[in-house]
Amino acid sequence: MSSEPQYPRHARPEEFANPTPKYCVWEITLACDLGCKHCGSRAGKARPDELTTEECLEVVDQLAELGIRETTLIGGEAYLRDDWTEIAAALVKKGISVSVVTGARNLTQERIDGAVEAGISSISISIDGLEKTHDALRGPRGSWRAAVEAARRVAESPLRLTANTQINRLSMPELPAVADLMVDLGIAGWQVQMTVPMGRAADRPELLLQPPDLLELFPLLLWIKRTKLDPAGVQIAPSNNVGYFSPYERLLRWRREEKGGHWSGCVAGKWGLGLEADGKIKGCPSLPSGPYTGGNIRDAKIADVVANAPEVNHLKSRTGEDLWGFCRTCYYAETCLAGCTWTSHTFFGRSGNNPYCIHRALEFEKRGLQERIVPAERAAGDPFDYGRFEILVEEAPEASDVPSILDLALDRVTAASFAEPSLWEKDTIRERLKRWKG
């Protein structure tokens, strides 16, 4: 483990002693032209009280005063606001880099040209598997083809093209083929994150990975990185809920293999900030709105909320004493602090215990045990809502007795029109899994 401090890319070393948000994810509308089955915000219709253009431009001024260096515009679907490029251009004028995350169902050439003109630097397109899987997850038929065609248009523009993928029981078996698609599209970076039980995903517990699935996921991601992405110059970017520790983190996360380092805790309210379309201020855009909203820009200055609202800034003063369950007893407790707060809170209704951890899964495996998460309470049906799960600890079955998640959709992968069957050879993958796992 390296002792070298790992600074977020938006922060400078001299700012580390007094951290404040440098990166903001701003939901500018909840309106959406998709109907994703894993959408945490249950996007579809615009919020009835979304910020006006004038109010958004005031937010831009406040973000600049706070010292924000990069803002990602999201929805819903950001381009469904008529003023989305006006907001982006105002941010750029203040010296703030702007990116956009989109499902790209209707990301037309005209909208791409508008993004270029506004000074937007990059667009990340969501691709959640092969065509049938993506369309099943995202809603309307044709969503996958629209996203891929939009990606090719972005790739031909001055914009930097990246992509993002949710990992769940439908998409995980298709990751090697999706990686081939990423290379084919010429993306610069690919962010992967695990689906968690928030919003519509909370209504579909069968969609979620189980903790033992991580024992296959992490060696698979490493195999994909080394055999597919690295040779093509594509950077994989595991999100904050793909972790933690074990040999995999150093090998998977960007520049960690060459510089060392490790996960050092949730950055919500510390380096990060989230804004909702109706003005709510959170430390992270993914966090549930109820317990983590510190104020509203209609009633308070963003800087004041960041400085004074415990709902926003309490996570940066959390210690190992705030953890519970396995995470409280973990060797890495004081450093990791239970990983991604969004993930743990949406499972259990409170933070501090995170079942999506490869170190944890490996520790249980050593004892011949495994964890299983089971629904206990349903979500209410509101944006950013969640139910409650319980953890069962049980004896791990013999590997030969249980079909692997990687076996479940093998036919779907090899049938991909852009991926030859030789790109997905079960025996070869199995050998890689055993090797990296060992």
189 pairs with which residues across the strands? 162, 235
DSSP for 78-104? GGGSTTHHHHHHHHHHTT-EEEEEE--
Output the pLDDT for position 397. Answer: 86
Q: Strand pairing of 97-102 and 122-126? A: parallel
Output the pLDDT for position 400. Answer: 52
d(Cα 399, Cα 381) in Å, to the nearest integer? 37
Output the pLDDT for position 427. Answer: 46
Rg of the chain over CA atoms, in angstroms? 21
Domain ranges for the chain: 20-316, 317-401
d(Cα 81, Cα 1) in Å, to the nearest integer? 46
Mean pLDDT by 10 residues, the chain (438 residues): 45 81 97 96 96 98 97 97 98 98 98 98 97 93 97 98 96 93 96 97 95 92 92 94 88 62 85 97 96 97 97 91 96 95 96 96 95 96 95 85 52 40 41 44
CATH topology of domain 20-316: TIM Barrel (3.20.20)
Starting at the earlier edge strand, list the strands of the sheet with 160-167.
235-238, 189-194, 160-167, 122-126, 97-102, 70-74, 23-27, 272-275, 280-282, 295-296
Direct distance between the N- and C-terminal alpha carbons of the chain, in angstroms, rounded to an integer: 19
Are 194 and 168 within 8 A, CB to CB?
yes
Are 186 and 162 within 8 A, CB to CB?
no
Tokens encoding 172? 């995980």
